Amino acid sequence: MELAALRRLDLPARGQFGEHALHLTRILRRFLEATAGAASPGDTTPELVDHLRLAKLDPAELRRLEDWLRLWDRLKFARAGSTLEEARRAESNAEAFIRRPSTPAAIGKVA
């Protein structure tokens, strides 16, 4: 799994929070492309969120994803500060999202 490979890199322990956020974003976007069909390579965070809204992603999940993506954007582009604990929590949140039950409603597929 890509998250396991990311964890082995141990980027947060080396203070590379922006690089870590870049990998988390890529992993989550690839998952959303494969399951919700809502992301296109090169989409900005607002564009991705709009696509997910149109794909009928659960509103609570959409808010959670949008919060994560915006936080990761701040880490990647604005070089916002973070902590090892926050980075580990981000990994766990992404993993829980990816591993949740994949019912059509949960992944945003339209029947």
Q: What secondary structure does DSSP assign to 30-51, as a single string?
A: HHHHHHT----TT--HHHHHHH
Mean pLDDT of 53-81: 92
Domain ranges of the chain: 2-100
How far is it, in rounded angstroms, from Cα 70 to Cα 61?
Answer: 14
Q: What is the pTM assigned to this prediction?
A: 0.83
Longest dimension (CA), the chain: 44
pLDDT for residue 109: 38
What are phi and psi for residue 75, nearest 5 degrees? -70, -40
Q: How many CA within 13 A on the CB side of residue 46? A: 0
pLDDT at 79 over 60: yes
